[in-house]
Structure 1
Amino acid sequence: MSRSGPSSVLFACSMNAVRSPMAEAIARHLFGHEVYIASAGVRSGELDPFAVKAIEEIGLDISKHKPHTFEDLEDSNFDLVITLAPEAHHKALDMTRTMAMDVEYWPTPDPQLASGSRDQIMESYRAVRDGLMRRIKDRLEWRPKAHD
């Protein structure tokens, strides 16, 4: 069975430190080599340890991720850019002036704005992670692989 979804996807957020690296890790896990997946931010930030922990809880590892910007991308030719923050959406729309690509905005809360206890903060990261997992599966037409 062949996929009808995009063959290359860029996830973009403000600093490539929380939302877009989480989305990139989830999509890579689900699609392996079927879809080229990357992430970027409008500005470069520092990888967030809560994001690392939230992704680790589902068996994935982003601890070696180095946040980078749109300008740092080796290839900026994507079928689909999924933006997770308003400023990333504006940046992606600018890219459509010179490149043919679809851009979708998925409003995604920034869990770095959460306050409270460590457990309450982790819950906000888990909520973002789980929301991204659902949307990625739906939008990119994920189907469990049949085992022989």
Structure 2
Amino acid sequence: MAEGIMKRLYGTGCYVQSAGVKNDLEIDGFAIAVCQEIGVELSRHRVRSLDEMRGWGDDLSSFDLVVALTPASLHRALDLTRSYAIHVEYWPILDPTGMGQGREERLGYYRQTRDMILARILEKFGPARSGWSPPA
């Protein structure tokens, strides 16, 4: 969600890549649904891990900031970036995976997560540069 929201807000004004600790999941359908509600397209997003990024030739030293959304991703990011001048931040965001009973309740948790991510991005990076603003 974070990569899609960031790209929607700032367009090509910054380079954004999201990655997890491991890549054993497809993009979550609930994440796709709640992002579509605010005009963020995730259906073509590919799930990748930090190790895959390195394996594909992404130069981690070219990044200025890594934002970790889970304790596990924070530890992995700190480990991978320890020899680079990269700032690593931890944003404790609700992990909605497996939360709630039934579709509507689950969507509610995913909306909370989406809104938490959106708020943190706007707080950190300021107003959208793309001309887009999320629906209220």
Does TM, normalized by the shorter one, top 0.5?
A: yes
Equivalent pair of 2:10/2:128 in contact (CA under 8 Å): no
* 1:88 lines up with 2:73 in the alignment: yes
In the other structure, the counterpart of 2:122 is 137
Gap regions ≥5 residues in structure 2: 132-136
Aligned partner (choices 40, 46, 55) of residue 19 of structure 2: 40
Structural mapping, 1:47-86, within 5 Å? 47-73=27-53, 74-76=58-60, 77-86=62-71
| Rounded Cα–Cα distance in structure 2 between residues aligned with 1:142 and 1:35 | 14
- Percent sequence identity over aligned pairs: 38
* 4+ runs deviating over 6 angstroms: none
In the other structure, the counterpart of 2:2 is 23
In the other structure, the counterpart of 2:134 is none
Cα RMSD for the two superposed structures: 1.5
Change (3 A) 1:59 1:92: same
Query: Between Structure 1 and Structure 2, which shows a larger proportion of helix residues?
Result: 2
Equivalent pair of 2:66/2:87 in contact (CA under 8 Å): yes
Query: Between Structure 1 and Structure 2, which shows a larger proportion of strand residues?
Result: 1
Q: Aligned pair count?
A: 125
Equivalent pair of 2:9/2:130 in contact (CA under 8 Å): no
* 1:117 lines up with 2:102 in the alignment: yes
Alpha-carbon shift at residue 95 of structure 1 (Å): 2.3
